[in-house]
Amino acid sequence: MDGGELKLYGAWASPYVQRVRLALKLKALDYEYVEENLANKSAALLHLNPVHRKVPILLHGDRPIAESAVILEYIDETWPRRFPLMPADPRERAAVRFWCHFGSDKMFPSLTAVIHSADEVQRAAAVGEVRENLKLLEDEGLLPRRRFFGCEKLGFLDIVLGVDAHFLRGVTEVAEVDLGETSPPSPAGYEVRSSPVRPGSASPFRYDSRLPPRPPPKDFGTSLGRRRLL
Ligand SMILES: N[C@@H](CCC(=O)N[C@@H](CS)C(=O)NCC(=O)O)C(=O)O
């Protein structure tokens, strides 16, 4: 492996970690995976990401890289010829980065707010925010009227927003909320992501099969270091 072996520190329920796992899979890169207990972080995690103390952390040789979007760009730039993730056009790249921030700063926090809401009032507000965020994506034409987010080819944004979509399905199960009336019908609308990785590809390799199996919902929040779900 150029630059040394790859090791990923993660937590199974973290969409940020799943982003990196998907990118590594698409790039066909081998790596060692280390599952962290975020309620009791390892010394290695604290040493490798002393600023944020969060996963994912990708260790390439002896060089740690943190922050999922930074890691994705690092992987794409280090192995540019294997399944390029970023578009070539600078304006398209800027748009990808913009919506990537949207996923991290708005979409994902609204989803976790549903899980961690303390009562029905809070939960209704959080669900409302998820719906607003989905509407923003829809208004931008980023939800799956097309095969992939934003462009004709699976790429960076599919990894970022597609993983949020997977998380969203988990959220609806765990919090027992129905987001089905949103426009587009949220979890179902995302099912398009279950299509083969490459258009025309004969590969039976499907989106869900690239994600690790999900343990029972009760473990969903605790694995992210929380004591209770609701
Ligand atoms: N902005 C970071 C967010 C990573 C993040 O929030 N990771 C969570 C798991 S989903 C974590 O490690 N939490 C541990 C903590 O907050 O103590 C990224 O994109 O990588």
pLDDT surpasses 80 at 47: yes
Distance of alpha carbon 206 from alpha carbon 77, whole angstroms: 25
Instruction: Give the CA radius of gyration of the chain.
Output: 17
Q: Model confidence over 92-130: pLDDT tens digits?
A: 888 889 988 998 899 888 888 888 888 888 888 988 898
pLDDT surpasses 80 at 71: yes
Q: Which residue among 36, 40, 55 is best mutated to probe the pocket of ligand 1, counting the most ligand atoms within 8 A of its Cβ? A: 55
Asked if residue 65 has its Cβ within 6 Å of ligand 1, the reply is no
CA dihedral 134, 138, 141, 147 (to 10 degrees): 70
Residue 230: closest CA among 177, 179, 182: 177
In this structure, of 2-11, 14-23, 39-48, 187-196, the range with the lowest mean pLDDT score is: 187-196
Asked if residue 224 has its Cβ within 6 Å of ligand 1, the reply is yes
| pLDDT recorded at residue 142 | 64
pLDDT classification of 87: cutoffs 50, 70, 90: confident
* Ligand 1 atom 16: residue of nearest CA: 54
Q: Model confidence over 186-215: pLDDT tens digits?
A: 333 333 333 333 333 332 223 333 344 444
Q: How many Å lie between the centroid of ligand 1 and the Cα of residue 66?
A: 10
Q: How many Å lie between the centroid of ligand 1 and the Cα of residue 54?
A: 5
The full set of domains in the chain, from first to last, is 6-78 (3.40.30.10), 90-225 (1.20.1050.10)
| pLDDT recorded at residue 63 | 96
* Ligand 1 atom 13: residue of nearest CA: 54
Q: How many Cβ atoms are within 10 Å of 25's Cβ, its own excluded?
A: 17
| Token pair in block for residue 228 | 């209770």
Asked if residue 166 has its Cβ within 6 Å of ligand 1, the reply is no
Q: How many Å lie between the centroid of ligand 1 and the Cα of residue 16?
A: 7
Residue with the bigger pLDDT between 213 and 19: it is 19
| Token pair in block for residue 27 | 């790039």
Phi, psi dihedrals of residue 153, rounded to the nearest 5°? -130, 145
| pLDDT recorded at residue 173 | 72
> ∠ CA 85-91-92 to the nearest 5 degrees?
35
Asked if residue 11 has its Cβ within 6 Å of ligand 1, the reply is yes
In DSSP terms, which residues pair with 6 in a beta bridge? 60
Question: Among the atoms of ligand 1, which is closest to the Cα of residue 224?
Answer: 9
Residue 135 has, within 13 A of its CA and on its CB side, a CA count of: 9
| pLDDT recorded at residue 70 | 96
Instruction: Name the pTM for this structure.
Output: 0.76
| pLDDT recorded at residue 196 | 33
CB 190 within 8 A of CB 149: no
Q: Which residue among 8, 9, 16 is best mutated to probe the pocket of ligand 1, counting the most ligand atoms within 8 A of its Cβ? A: 16
**DSSP of 92-144:** HHHHHHHHHHHIIIIIHHHHHHHHT-SSHHHHHHHHHHHHHHHHHHHHTT-ST
Question: Among the atoms of ligand 1, which is closest to the Cα of residue 36?
Answer: 12
CB within 8 Å of 226: residues ≥ 6 apart: 116
